Structure 1
């Protein structure tokens, strides 16, 4: 079952290597890919950050299993696909981060994606100085030295060093235990993600003259009262009009579309175009999300539970 889900998620990336292969055309189905720092933060900081992001309806993905220090296999196609299809990668650097060669390969893949698609990459330095990451000092130096002793290829080692230096120069966050409340620190990160991921929870599709001031209007107000962000267009389109870029963007950035069918709904060919476009996109989203969540059971509704 696990192999099947990996294959489904990676069907557009047959290489299976550490290179991201789909630059600008890759559909961004997920909001955040959370690259874990290691066992030292999985069940504490990273778990709390994951839950905080999910509580704001931010679609967040992360590995259910931990990379072991001796695991030298390639990054799975599903992990590469998850990186490719996320709008933001958040990398949590903890003291144990560099202990895994696979985790360092993942960092290289994230930065390759950033270079090719301008994906946002946010480093979080949790209990480790950014300069220690940049110059591989302390625990990071020890980890790199161990890999050198195991005769890792110079090319691979150079990629790791370059990636650590590059990511530590990006804008991010630094947290030192005992100097501030962790929940306030997490809240700042979540607020930044919410602001960056400006999109809608619900797209309301309807025929204005039929239901704007009755059913659809009442539904819009009820959803707003519950805190949902709604797109309800004000364009009155005549038959044959084409969908605008504004409305296409709203469709693509909405989690759910509610279609209110009324007597005159199908009068404009635009409405058919709109409905078909959204239905197709949603089916693609569901397929990719289910495949990834089958590979990483914890990434859907809860943290640390099967």
Structure 2
């Protein structure tokens, strides 16, 4: 089971229509679609009625699309300040990346970063903003929100294109490559658990809590677990997850499927610098690490099944021992589960964004860049 509804997008493409809708942005949108990247384009004719039903106000439809997109691309062009709706979209995008850890890629198209600020607050468009003041009673508050959003991303890594700096199709190809890499990192959270112990109770509630906050979570379907070998689907999901949460319960160690998941997770921690959070569900960390009590009984049963000298069993024991080096959370019988789950989700929300942490491989090219040039990336 994964929280990937039909209306979830890989990319949300935001821009002001008159500047680039039928040229650069239209070509970018077409390139993204050709590469099977599910893209919400704010100026797509298919979305016009829904987006404009509130006039200059951003629509709930667009807000939902922003929240459900993995990568947010904002094309800032010379006339970006001419549309209050697009500026409100920009504010919503900045708020989303703070809360939901989405990736933002600003694209400065034929405009310098400094020109954006000048255009809104000291340039010719100041007169246009005076017109907005007459139309909107909350003018000052809205403009302050626009300014804060622009200041927020002013120093961020971005892509820039100027006249004469190269072929636009090459520039578009680089943006598409970034979107494709982001697309491959499909899940925010992978949940490893023993189905018979917690699927319909604790882990089910944890999954729903993550989904409500906009996380993309992999939780295997009921009935998928079975056989003696973990499926390639599960292996791939673990590799493409930023965070793995392992729910250690009484019968976790009896499942070869769970133990294979754990071994793969530990491998990804070492080779991909991924995060893993153990949760000890009515069991002690020491019993898991040292394989005592129910975990001792479980590993003895695995040895009887596969042999004491089995490489598989040694790998499982090693993976369980590795848990000693990781910080974990204990859920006790006398704790409210909903409070514990809220704390776990809030902790995940506060993980540093990929945009500011270069430890995530998929976003490393974006997060390490200090300046973009056509066809190259200057890395600090």
TM-score by length of structure 1 reads: 0.54
Name the SS of the counterpart of 1:180 in structure 2: coil
Task: Give the whole-Å Cα distance in 2 for the aligned partners of 1:110 and 1:38.
Answer: 17
Task: Give the whole-Å Cα distance in 2 for the aligned partners of 1:89 and 1:139.
Answer: 28
Q: Cα offset for 1:197?
A: 2.0
**2:64 corresponds to:** 81
Q: Cα offset for 1:120?
A: 0.8
Structure 1: state its 5+ residue gaps.
Answer: 1-24, 201-236, 254-267, 271-306
Task: Give the whole-Å Cα distance in 1 for the aligned partners of 2:226 and 2:12.
Answer: 41
**2:174 corresponds to:** 188
Task: Give the whole-Å Cα distance in 1 for the aligned partners of 2:100 and 2:15.
Answer: 22
Please list, as runs of the form range in 1=range in 2, the aligned pairs for 1:249-268 lying within 5 A after superposition. Answer: 249=237
**2:302 corresponds to:** none
**1:166 corresponds to:** 152
Task: Give the whole-Å Cα distance in 1 for the aligned partners of 2:230 and 2:173.
Answer: 41
Name the SS of the counterpart of 1:170 in structure 2: coil
C-alpha RMSD over aligned residues? 3.5
Name the SS of the counterpart of 2:22 in structure 1: helix
Please list, as runs of the form range in 1=range in 2, the aligned pairs for 1:1-306 lying within 5 A after superposition. Answer: 29-63=8-42, 64-65=44-45, 71-72=55-56, 74-135=57-118, 136=120, 137-138=122-123, 141-148=126-133, 150=135, 152-153=137-138, 154-198=140-184, 238-239=226-227, 246-247=234-235, 249=237
Q: Deviations over 1:137-167 (max 9, x none)?
A: 5355454344245454221121011112222
Higher relative contact order (CA 8 A, sep 6+): 1
Task: Give the whole-Å Cα distance in 1 for the aligned partners of 2:179 and 2:14.
Answer: 15
Task: Give the whole-Å Cα distance in 1 for the aligned partners of 2:129 and 2:31.
Answer: 33
Alignment length (residue pairs): 194
Q: Cα offset for 1:249?
A: 2.4
Please tell me whether the aligned partners of residues 8 and 68 of structure 2 are also in contact (alpha carbons under 8 angstroms): yes
Shift of the 180–243 alpha-carbon distance from structure 1 to 2, 3 Å rule, reads closer
Task: Give the whole-Å Cα distance in 1 for the aligned partners of 2:171 and 2:183.
Answer: 19
**2:277 corresponds to:** none
TM-score by length of structure 2 reads: 0.44
Q: Cα offset for 1:251?
A: 11
Task: Give the whole-Å Cα distance in 2 for the aligned partners of 1:151 and 1:45.
Answer: 31
Name the SS of the counterpart of 2:72 in structure 1: strand
Please tell me whether the aligned partners of residues 37 and 91 of structure 1 are also in contact (alpha carbons under 8 angstroms): no
Please tell me whether the aligned partners of residues 134 and 168 of structure 1 are also in contact (alpha carbons under 8 angstroms): no
Shift of the 248–168 alpha-carbon distance from structure 1 to 2, 3 Å rule, reads same
Name the SS of the counterpart of 1:43 in structure 2: coil
Q: Deviations over 1:258-280 (max 9, x none)?
A: xxxxxxxxxx9x8xxxxxxxxxx
Please tell me whether the aligned partners of residues 91 and 122 of structure 1 are also in contact (alpha carbons under 8 angstroms): yes
Task: Give the whole-Å Cα distance in 2 for the aligned partners of 1:171 and 1:152.
Answer: 34
Q: Cα offset for 1:75?
A: 1.7
Structure 2: state its 5+ residue gaps.
Answer: 187-224, 242-254, 258-380
Q: Cα offset for 1:106?
A: 0.9
Task: Give the whole-Å Cα distance in 2 for the aligned partners of 1:48 and 1:36.
Answer: 13
Please tell me whether the aligned partners of residues 78 and 116 of structure 2 are also in contact (alpha carbons under 8 angstroms): no
Shift of the 199–118 alpha-carbon distance from structure 1 to 2, 3 Å rule, reads closer
Q: Cα offset for 1:245?
A: 9.5
